[in-house]
């Protein structure tokens, strides 16, 4: 999400540098889509770079330290929030956050509820919503024939995936291992299930979506649901648990089933075997994908940063 936002700033002529806070094999700075990346092992002077900057942006666990540095230097601080965990809001509400960026309307509403008891001086000065940008041209393809789950960990619905595949032995399933979390595996597997390793984003179109006819998202929690939006770019119907994030991202295009109601998932997937129902669901997904064009969100983001 954040890389797409930074690319948008670069496209408007701004100089953007990302300082990595975790170790990687790299020791020299490099460029990604016009964004300069400084590895942790480069051992360069971040404080000096921050002092020379116009705006400091951070997310995840870096918000407290980066925010404190920005306050000390008198620089505007932007916090990008990815979920509704209270720790996220607590870190943002330490004072002098010029701009809070939320990935959904429901997250913005929850943040406003959280901050309503805070004194004015500790609340973010302003906030905007930037939905995780998905560019249709990066993901659109011709759907395949598999029923797919991306990330087989328990929170993403790994158990539901295996149970559903067992209940529907005549259908072909594809499981894509995730980059985090313990992956739910079945000893000996199932004859109708193929499991592949985690893939970088630029391989998802050819290796996953081009093989997928239905996407499963039985997530326990989901602040938005980027994978669902990526799938909709190809008109792939999404069967999902109705978390606040997935309800917002999928909207009228979603086919919702309670996470713990396996029969509801069986019924939804079975219904989509009807070509007419699948085509209707696919059309709704394509329309929703068009409605989620990121251009307006990215323009608003750039304007908000430029106004600081």
Domain of 158, CATH number, reads 3.40.50.2000
Task: Choose among 93, 105, 79: nearest CA to 308.
Answer: 79
Q: Give the angle subtended at the CA of 250 by the CAs of 249 and 253, to the nearest 5°.
A: 155
The residue range of the domain holding 120 is 2-133+294-306
33 and 149 together in one domain: no
pLDDT one digit per residue (tens) for the chain, 308 residues: 899 999 999 999 999 999 999 988 889 999 999 999 999 999 899 999 999 999 999 999 999 999 999 999 999 999 999 999 889 999 998 878 999 999 999 999 999 988 887 777 788 999 999 999 999 999 999 999 999 999 999 999 999 999 999 999 999 999 999 999 999 999 999 999 999 999 999 999 999 999 999 999 999 999 999 999 999 999 999 999 999 999 999 999 999 999 999 999 999 999 999 999 999 999 999 999 999 999 999 999 999 999 99
* pLDDT confidence of residue 120: 78
Q: Are strands 238-240 and 212-217 parallel, antiparallel or unpaired?
A: parallel
156 and 187 together in one domain: yes
The answer to whether the predicted template modeling score (pTM) of the entire model surpasses 0.85 is yes
Q: How many domains does the chain have?
A: 2
223 and 256 together in one domain: yes
154 and 283 together in one domain: yes
Q: DSSP letter for 294, please.
A: T
203 and 78 together in one domain: no
The pair of three-digit structure tokens given for residue 254, joined into one six-digit string: 């979603």
142 and 129 together in one domain: no
């Amino acid at each position: 999400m954040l890389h797409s936002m930074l690319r948008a700033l670069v496209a408007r002529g701004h100089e953007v540098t990302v300082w990595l806070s975790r170790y990687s094999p790299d020791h020299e700075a490099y460029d990604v889509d016009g964004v300069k990346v400084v590895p942790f092992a480069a051992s360069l002077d971040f404080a000096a770079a921050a002092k020379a900057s116009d705006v400091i942006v951070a997310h995840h666990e870096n918000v407290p330290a980066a925010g404190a540095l920005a306050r000390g230097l008198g620089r505007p601080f932007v916090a990008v929030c990815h979920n509704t965990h209270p720790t996220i809001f607590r870190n943002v509400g330490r004072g002098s956050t010029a701009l809070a960026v939320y990935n959904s309307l429901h997250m913005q509403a929850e943040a406003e509820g959280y901050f309503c008891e805070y004194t004015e001086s500790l609340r973010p000065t302003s906030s905007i919503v930037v939905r995780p940008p998905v560019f249709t041209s990066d993901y659109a393809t011709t759907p395949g024939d598999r029923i797919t789950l991306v990330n087989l960990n328990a929170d993403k619905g790994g158990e539901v995936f295996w149970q559903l595949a067992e209940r529907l032995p005549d259908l072909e399933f594809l499981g894509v291992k995730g980059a985090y979390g313990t992956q739910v595996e079945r000893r000996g597997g199932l004859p109708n299930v193929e499991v592949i390793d985690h893939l970088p984003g630029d391989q998802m179109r050819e290796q996953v979506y081009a093989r997928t006819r239905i996407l499963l998202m039985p997530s326990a929690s989901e602040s938005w649901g980027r994978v669902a939006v990526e799938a909709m770019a190809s008109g792939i119907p999404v069967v999902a648990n109705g978390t606040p994030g997935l309800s917002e991202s999928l909207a009228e295009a979603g086919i919702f089933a309670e996470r713990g109601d396996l029969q509801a998932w069986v019924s939804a997937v079975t219904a989509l075997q009807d070509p007419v129902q699948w085509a209707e669901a696919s059309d709704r997904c394509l329309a929703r994908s068009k409605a989620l064009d990121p251009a307006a969100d990215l323009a608003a983001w750039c304007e908000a940063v430029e106004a600081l």
